[in-house]
Amino acid sequence: MNLQPIHAQLGRVAWSGGSYTLTFGTLFLALALIVGGGLVSRLLAGFFGKRLPGHLRQSRHVREFAPRWIFFGVWSIFILVALRILGVPLTAFNFLGGAIALGFGFGAQNLCSNLISGAIILVARPYKVGDIVEVDGMAGTVLAIGLRATEVLTYDGVNLLVPNSNLISHTIVNRTNYDRSLRGLVTITAAYGTDARLVDETLRAVAAAHPAVINSPGKAPWVIFDNFGASGLEFKLFFWVDTTRNNVAATASDVRHGVLAAFREKDIPVPVAPQLPKTP
């Protein structure tokens, strides 16, 4: 097969000016690198995107953006090689790079800080999706961890988008970092003359019967006879709640209902509120 005509065509000058000459072969090679590099970059992005570490795959934002960053990063290398082959001096982009750097310095400082903080959070994992955290005095559940911000759903049903830089620079309380249990507290007052031991047993039994209350050794419900109050005997009932089954506030409400029913069943009197004088 005679390849001389092909070599001749590739060697033809496509454009010439001054000391710069562009042949069809060089132009074809540069275009092949750009197009082929795009295809290779897309395959690599898909390959590595499916093999992200387990804790990184939990974040929807990382799953979506990581393949894009890999694609553009690898493709940029192919484009730079193609520009080098074409003889385009990379120093021509110095001004553009300086303008971009200046824009980042003035307008994107917070964005860069949040992106870096997001990367630190995803690697260090001070909290993860599903954890209950306290941010600026408001507690909620972590719904998603993005590169720029973390989404937290408060108990009031409000979605908070907290910048990652705030989470790095401020103290964040993670209530479920090691397990999914939180401690609950219910305060009860029984009338004077009541058997304190009976009240103690009744309170522990009611809490232990709740399906969300943990009864394992070391976390079983316990009662403290706290004080002789102005209107009766004051008790504090402590219990640990499995937050995967119920939240603390709802569990405490159920326990109060159960205590009231148990007191009525066992004829344990509770203090009667004083009658307020009627307004004439």
pLDDT more than 70, % of the chain? 73
The upper half-sphere exposure of residue 11, i.e. CA atoms within 13 Å in the direction of its Cβ, equals: 6
Of residues 4 and 38, more confidence is placed in 38
Q: For 150-172, write each residue's pLDDT tens digit.
A: 888 887 778 888 888 888 777 78
Q: For 110-133, write each residue's pLDDT tens digit.
A: 667 777 777 777 777 788 888 888
CA dist., res. 269 & res. 191, Å (int): 6
CA dist., res. 138 & res. 153, Å (int): 10
For the segment 250-255, the average pLDDT, to the nearest whole number, is 94
pTM of the model: 0.51
CA dist., res. 189 & res. 199, Å (int): 10
> Which pLDDT band, with edges at 50, 70 and 90, does 222 fall under?
very high
* Length of the chain, in residues: 280
3-state secondary structure labels for all residues of 14-64: EEEECCEEEEHHHHHHHHHHHHHHHHHHHHHHHHHHCCCCHHHHCCHHHHH
Segments of the chain assigned to CATH 3.30.70.100: 181-265
Residue 194's pLDDT is 92
Segments of the chain assigned to CATH 2.30.30.60: 127-174
Q: What is the CATH number of domain 181-265?
A: 3.30.70.100
Q: For 139-154, write each residue's pLDDT tens digit.
A: 788 888 877 788 888 8
CA dist., res. 274 & res. 280, Å (int): 18
CATH topology of domain 127-174: SH3 type barrels. (2.30.30)
DSSP 8-state class, residue 92 = G
